[in-house]
Structure formats: C-alpha cells, structure tokens
C-alpha cells in the first residue's frame, strides 16, 4: 500500500479507497476513514471518554492553538 523508503509514487483516489483498512465496530464509535478529516477530528475525544462514551473532562481553550 504505502511507498517504500525514498520511493516516489503518486497515489490515486481509487487506490486509497480500495485499500482502506477499517473493520466497522459499533462499540468503538469510530467514524469511517472516508469522512472528512475535519469532522473526524472534531469528534475525536482528545481528553478521553469514560465508559459511557462521554468526555472525561472539559476541553480547555488553551488546547486549541494550531
């Protein structure tokens, strides 16, 4: 799938879609790798989740710097 060290190659969208490794698991509440990166990371629990799936702590504005 990915290029070896130092090897230059282009990747087509078809290759990417066909080689996405993703086993759907409802328990993990993980979005498909084919959703937009922005949405995926907006919903990513960077502060961790408890057993119910709720955020374990509130996000601080200081975390958003980039």
Residues interacting with other proteins, by CB under 8 A?
2-11, 13, 16-17, 20, 28-31, 33-38, 40-41, 44-49, 53, 56, 63-66
> And the tokens for 29?
């509440």
Other beta carbons within 10 angstroms of residue 45's beta carbon come to: 14
Q: How far is the CB of 16 from other proteins (least distance, A)?
A: 5
Closer to other proteins by Cβ: residue 5 or 26: 5
Q: How far is the CB of 23 from other proteins (least distance, A)?
A: 10
Give the residue from 16, 45, 15 showing the smallest Cα distance to 28.
45
């Amino acid at each position: 799938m990915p290029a070896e060290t130092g090897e230059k190659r282009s990747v087509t969208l078809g290759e990417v879609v066909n080689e996405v490794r993703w086993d759907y698991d409802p328990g993990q509440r993980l979005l498909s790798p084919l959703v937009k990166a922005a949405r995926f990371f907006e919903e990513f629990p960077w502060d961790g989740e408890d057993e119910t799936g709720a955020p374990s702590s509130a996000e601080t504005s200081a975390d958003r710097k980039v």
